[in-house]
Structure 1
Amino acid sequence: MTTDKFSFPATQAEQLTQQWVEAIVVGLNLCPFAAPEVRNQSIRYAVSHASVMTDAAQDFLAELAKIQDSPEEELSTTLVAFTETAVDFESFLDLLDLCQTMLERAGLAGVFQLASFHPDYCFSGVEADDITNWTNRAPFPTIHIIREGQMSRVLVHYKNPDEIPERNMALMETMGRDGLIERFPPLAQYWPAKS
């Protein structure tokens, strides 16, 4: 199964998401609690091949149930990559809103929180080609299910957690396109050099 909607075959979604986490998220310390979970192999990488948004949301709900029913030491966090839906960033934001609503209706707000990543991620008020957007760009549209209690415990030991986003953006600017591609070569496939 492949798709031309993204720069990579759908069959590579799990592998590339894991490589991206290890090379970029952990390798650049973008997230202060990711490295221990990678070492403990307690991150779940799930893939939804649903082509309809409501089906994609149901896949998200299934993963939410799975992490809720699993001990934290076995399954600490889940990344759900979507290969056939939420192709454009605006559609992805709609999917994210739907998943957030489902999380709240399940009574799990405050237990889990969601983080979001997309190949075309763009912060509000930021130009699309601004390199700081790459703090939230991943090979496929991805929703990250985070245990809120776990995050809070880690951040207690992290000096100035509110400064993490700004630090990450500054790091993107320092590394530049070539530095990021050197760390994670697949980026070159969907981040062409300017002619």
Structure 2
Amino acid sequence: MPLSPLPADTESHEAIIAATRHWLTRAVIGLNLCPFAKAVHVKDQIRYAVSDATNTEGVLTDLESEMRTLADADPALIDTTLLILPRALADFLDYNDCLYFADRMLQDLRLEGTLQIASFHPHYQFEGSEPDDIENYTNRSPYPILHLLREASIERAVDAFPDAADIYERNQETLRRLGRQGWQQWMAARADTGTD
């Protein structure tokens, strides 16, 4: 079950970014699914880039541009980028296929070791899981997202968080405790007040 329906072509970039910020603040930060996310959020170091691409080719064109932008940017200004894909790759298998090409692009641009790509999707499904397993929600976002991270920032965060290897298991346990109904109620609440 997606967090929200994929948008109509008329949905504004502002509305798409607002939905993504809500997911980030409620799920990723609010449930502490990524203990590293709060610092870059608070420091306003996250770039939200909305792609108007409707196919894989367009996504890869926008991805290349965002990779170059992040690699060239001052980390104090832009530490990480969320490339949001509201009109492309709605099918999770197509999205997974695109990830292969995204990783190849990282190598071709000689940015492997400098940047890394994390993946989020409304229909995210871990290998070996069932589509409705609550654990999949650790990586479910309102839209398909390619998250570009700096390797140096990841290394610093891991050094500061000695149990980083346990994050995956802890996140799954958090979602199991919350359950589907708890997840839906949590996500329905406003990020600023914690209420509906």
Q: Provide the residue aligned with 1:185 in structure 2.
A: 188
Are the counterparts in 1 of residues 17 and 48 from structure 2 also a CA contact under 8 Å?
yes
Selected match of 1:80 from 77, 80, 83: 83
Q: Provide the residue aligned with 2:193 in structure 1.
A: none
Counterpart AA for 2:129: V
Give the CA deviation at 1:16: 0.8
Q: Provide the residue aligned with 2:156 in structure 1.
A: 153
TM-score normalized by the length of structure 1: 0.89
Give the CA deviation at 1:39: 0.5
Q: Provide the residue aligned with 1:130 in structure 2.
A: 133
Selected match of 1:103 from 79, 102, 106: 106
The separation in 2 between residues aligned to 1:167 and 1:8, in whole angstroms, is 31
Are the counterparts in 2 of residues 67 and 78 from structure 1 also a CA contact under 8 Å?
yes
Q: How many equivalent residue pairs? A: 182
Q: Provide the residue aligned with 1:71 in structure 2.
A: 74
- 1:136-174 deviations in Å (ceiling 9; x for gaps): 000000010000111111111213211100000000000
The separation in 1 between residues aligned to 2:57 and 2:178, in whole angstroms, is 38
Structure 2: gaps of 5 or more residues: 190-196
Structure 1: gaps of 5 or more residues: 187-195
4+ residue segments displaced more than 4 Å: none
1:156 match: secondary structure: helix
TM-score normalized by the length of structure 2: 0.89
Higher relative contact order (CA 8 A, sep 6+): 2
Give the CA deviation at 1:181: 1.9
Q: Provide the residue aligned with 2:51 in structure 1.
A: 48
Structure 1 stretch 131-140 or stretch 13-22: which is displaced more? 13-22
The separation in 2 between residues aligned to 1:155 and 1:98, in whole angstroms, is 27
Question: Please, what is the CA RMSD of the aligned residues?
Answer: 1.5
Structure 1 stretch 90-99 or stretch 133-142: which is displaced more? 90-99
Q: Provide the residue aligned with 1:29 in structure 2.
A: 32
Are the counterparts in 1 of residues 63 and 102 from structure 2 also a CA contact under 8 Å?
yes
Give the CA deviation at 1:97: 1.2
1:184 match: secondary structure: helix
Matches within 5 A, 1:53-64: 53-64=56-67
